[in-house]
Amino acid sequence: MIKYPETCLISGAWLLVSGHTGTGYTLLGLSMFICFARFAMKINEEKEKQKLYEDNIESLTGIIQNAALSFGLLNGKGSRSKNEISH
């Protein structure tokens, strides 16, 4: 599927070959700018997803740790207690 930057690139190249250099270079520059903007937005979305995953894992870890503390499986320091179970 050809999108806007690819269309600008093809049109700009065609205009350069046919002798319309000003318009051709303008379309080529516009194509490069739009490709960079699309790439930057894609990277930003991936960083946001990674941050969301990290927050979810941290939240899940806290829930599991609190559940283990409430059932007395862990002492307050995060390690298993062999001799005593806190209630």
Give residue-wise pLDDT tens across range 30-61.
999 999 999 999 999 999 999 999 999 999 99
* The overall pTM is greater than 0.75: no
Determine the 3-state secondary structure of 83 from DSSP.
coil
pLDDT at site 79:
54
pLDDT at site 84:
55
Residue with tokens 């699309």: 38
> By C-alpha distance, which of 4, 26, 1 is closest to 12?
26
> By C-alpha distance, which of 51, 10, 17 is closest to 31?
10
> By C-alpha distance, which of 35, 37, 39 is closest to 8?
35
Where residue 87 falls among pLDDT bands split at 50, 70, 90? low
CA dist 61 and 21 (Å) reads 60
